[in-house]
Structure 1
Amino acid sequence: MAAASASAAPDRHIIPVNALFHDDGTVVPTAMECETIDGVAGVAMEGHATFTGKWQGAADYKACFYRGLPNLPLGTEYFYGTETFTGSVDGCGTGSMTYKLSDGYVSPNVDPVTGQRSGQQIWQISPGGGSGDLAAVNSGSGGARFTISAVGENAGTFTGELRCQP
């Protein structure tokens, strides 16, 4: 009979994510380098969002924004970047954690009633990018859906799951 492995990974528990966010739309240029995609140069910006729900706190982000990519419908905006959340996560504790933002899109279609457009993005935890209790969050991913006004104010919901050590 084989002996149990002493190097087995510690148990992790899965925490469902359902967090609301709000960004007032205030962004400023940043020194982040953006790649050129299909001949279109990205514009690097940084901003701030607040979170409520299963995540309580705030996040600072840096992202590259693109308009006019030839492979997307006219008027669609594309973005990617990184975001660092600082605060508390139900079931995981307090501290900070960093995640990548990818495949971010904002529709060119404006809702005739609200004047807003819709958007979505994917997020994925960057292992080793945390502090405090949230340093134990080494994996997790999900999506976000949001609405955005003509002045950039946006709000929506992060969903998915995190894995953190008990």
Structure 2
Amino acid sequence: MTGLIQVVGGAVVDNLTEPAMLLVARRSAPEKLAGLWEFPGGKVEPGEDPEAALTRELFEELGITVRLGPELPAENADGWPLNERASMRVWFAEIIRGQPRPLEDHDELRWVPLADPDAVLGLPWIPADFPIVRALLTTLAVPAGPAFS
């Protein structure tokens, strides 16, 4: 079904080859989501490629330029369900220029260690992002080696 609003999110890591840290963003708005953590990103504009949208959104929201890595596989082609009207596709990303700052929609950024799943899962995530966080940790645990075992 293609009538869904397409949203893109960035799993911004310190290194695409050997990720050890994940950058997470705390929402400042809307009120019902304020104070909850999420993957930074946003809506894909009409006619815009999802990867281009993510690159644009990360620059607008955090002031960073990124290199995109692989997409985090979702159970269906539309991506991860956010609600009945929207779904999100998530890509791994590495910063290649800029220092991340909460410029838009966020009031705090934090690097969390991927080797400590409790630190990652212990954050108050937006409920729709929580299954994505679990999938990300599972995905990284498979090929990663000792740090993730």
Do both share a fold (TM > 0.5)? no
Who wins on radius of gyration, i.e. which is larger? 1
Greater helix content: 2
- Calculate the TM-score normalised by the size of structure 1: 0.26
Greater strand content: 1
Higher relative contact order (CA 8 A, sep 6+): 2
- Calculate the TM-score normalised by the size of structure 2: 0.28
